[in-house]
Amino acid sequence: MDYLQMESYLKAISDHNRMLILKYLSKDSLCICEFTELLDMTQPAISQHMRKLKQAELVTEEKRGRWTIWALNVRHPQYPILIHLLSLLPEPERTIETLVAEGKKVVCN
């Protein structure tokens, strides 16, 4: 890994909203519309963050019906470091359980 690759990797992570997204993904695969609820952000904002994470190969996407399910890329060479960094961060106030309780968790299969 050279200096520019490392820079891209770290820049993809060093945004508090993207760290929140990654923190959620370390628990569960989620779609854009769920993130808009969890982070209270607009759909295009989330989409653009996911594009950044995808370009850094930190996440993978899987189309399922109307939804795109996003997951952590566990095959990324620096995946263990990412998990460690995420472990240093507190649990977000808004949890996936809240989503479920509000009937906003997407179930697609």
93 binds a second copy (CB under 8 A): no
Structure tokens at 49: 């963050």
Cβ atoms within 10 A of the Cβ of 66, count?
Answer: 9
Residue among 74 and 81 whose Cβ is closer to a second copy:
81
Per DSSP bridges, beta strands 59-64 and 30-31 are unpaired
14 binds a second copy (CB under 8 A): yes
27: partner contacted, choices DNA, a second copy, none (Cβ within 5-8 A by kind): none
Binding string, residues 62-81; x marks residues near DNA by CB under 7 A: -x-xxxx-------------
Of 64, 63, 68, 74, the C-alpha closest to 22 is 74
Q: Number of residues interacting with DNA: please give it, by CB under 7 A.
A: 25
